[in-house]
Chains A and B, each alone.
Chain A
Amino acid sequence: MPTIVVEVMPKAELLDPQGKAVAGALARLGKSRFSGVRVGKRFEITVDGPADDAALADAQSIAEEILSNSVIEDVISVHYAGVDGFGSSAEADFETGNVTEDQQRIDAGSAAEHSRTENR
């Protein structure tokens, strides 16, 4: 069954005490290359039926109204998880749009995901 992935992050301008605590632990372990950590949420929603635009639109509204609180969080991404390559490697995840490192990558990922959907 298709899976929709929703990613939510605390607003960048707000303090993220959870991320700060993790970053503090990394610093204590001597992992000095990693100076900042922010912790967000990833929801994986199983869809009954076809992976169509209607389900994605429905998931988008759920993401904005229930899965996140716009006062404190932003919805980063709502997309179908790729059936193949899902989580198998970073490159595959970028291709299927599972990693939201930056906008460029997201755009590339969406394009790949679209072509994949058509092939299904």
Chain B
Amino acid sequence: MRIGVVTFPGSLDDRDAQRAIRLAGAEPVALWHGDHDLAGVDALVLPGGFSYGDYLRCGAIASLSPIMTEVIDAANKGMPVLGICNGFQMLAEAHLVEGGLIRNERGTFICRDQKLRVENTSTAWTSAFEPGQEIVIPLKNGEGGFVASRETLARLEGEGQVVFRYLETNPNGSLNDIAGVSNARGNVVGLMPHPEHAVEPGFGPDTAVAMRSGVDGLAFFASVIERTLVGA
């Protein structure tokens, strides 16, 4: 299985995403924002960072990149696409998921290990989780407040498109404590926290067992790998 990771000007976590994909057992493929080529990958990750310095709006200019033509086309045809943090903002700007992200409620950049609940395990990126499973992965953003109109919010909740919810604390003022959502089909998932930073013992969040031993992020990538194997 080959999973593409698109690098944009200002991407920071593209290499981490590639490493996470490798640790999960798939082959990462580096893709470039300026190309019109997905190199025949089976799935895509839009990584975190500060593409174009967050100018205009976070993810807005990146969502207009050449490669996004192919990304949007592939997503609409059912290819699994995961948007992490800035990648989530790009998905929202490209209208691949509904809603938008605004500056954190308290105005500060937040960097912490964040507890989440997996609300939907039928998406391409969450099928390896147990329904309602609680996980901890790092959260680090300045503009992660999820907002949507009342109607959109009701639809997302009603259709099970709320995939992740913040637990214990709502770090950024997101409506309904929403940390991540999917499109209607469930192949496109975007979230603010970073699964790619919780994939290797010694480098993840602290757990009750040992410091930095959290690897809850692996299941994101295991989900999409498993799905492809079953499909093949």
Chain A interfacial positions (CB closer than 8 Å to B): 10, 14-15, 17-18, 20-21, 66-67, 69, 71-73
Give the CA-CA distance A69 to B61 in the complex, in Å.
12
Q: Are A72 and B107 in contact (CB under 8 A)?
A: no
Contact across chains for A67 and B56 when beta carbons are under 8 A apart: yes
Count of inter-chain pairs, beta carbons less than 8 A: 41
For this complex, 13 residue pairs linking A to B, each with C-beta atoms less than 8 Å apart, are A10-B102, A14-B147, A17-B104, A17-B106, A17-B145, A21-B107, A66-B56, A66-B60, A66-B64, A69-B57, A69-B92, A71-B100, A71-B147
A69, B103: Cβ atoms closer than 8 Å = no
Whether B130 is near chain A, meaning CB under 8 Å from some CB there, is: no
Is A71 within 8 A of B92, CB to CB? yes
Residues in B lying within 8 Å of A, measured CB to CB = 56-57, 60, 64, 92-93, 98-107, 145, 147-149, 173
CA–CA, A44 to B102, complex, Å? Answer: 23
One of A17, A66, A67, A71 near B103 (C-beta < 8 A): A17
**Complex Cα distance A71/B150, Å?**
11
Given contacts A69-B57, A71-B148, contact A17 B64 (CB under 8 A): no
Q: Are A69 and B93 in contact (CB under 8 A)?
A: yes
Contact (Cβ within 8 A) B56 A72: no
Q: Which residues of A contact B56 (CB under 8 A)?
A: 66-67
CA distance A58 to B165 in the complex (A): 40
The 8 Å CB contact of A17, one of B98, B100, B105, is: B105
Chain B residues positioned under 8 Å from A72 (CB to CB): 57, 100-102, 147
Residue of B nearest to A43 (CB): B56
3 smallest CB-CB distances across A and B, nearest first, come from: A71-B100, A72-B100, A17-B107
Give me 4 other A-B pairs in contact (C-beta within 8 A), A15-B173, A17-B105, A71-B99 excluded: A17-B103, A17-B106, A17-B173, A69-B57
Is A69 touching B173 in the complex (CB atoms < 8 A)? Answer: no
Question: Which chain B positions have C-beta within 8 A of A14?
Answer: 102, 147
Q: List chain A residues, Cβ under 8 A from B145.
A: 15, 17
**B57 closest partner in A (C-beta):** A69
Q: In the complex, how many angstroms separate the beta carbon of A13 from the nearest chain B beta carbon? A: 9
CA distance A14 to B145 in the complex (A): 10
Task: Please give, as numbers and ranges, the residues of chain B lying within 8 Å of A21 by CB-CB distance.
Answer: 107
Please determine whether A15 and B107 come into contact, CB atoms closer than 8 angstroms: no
Task: Chain A residues near B148: list those with CB within 8 A.
Answer: 71
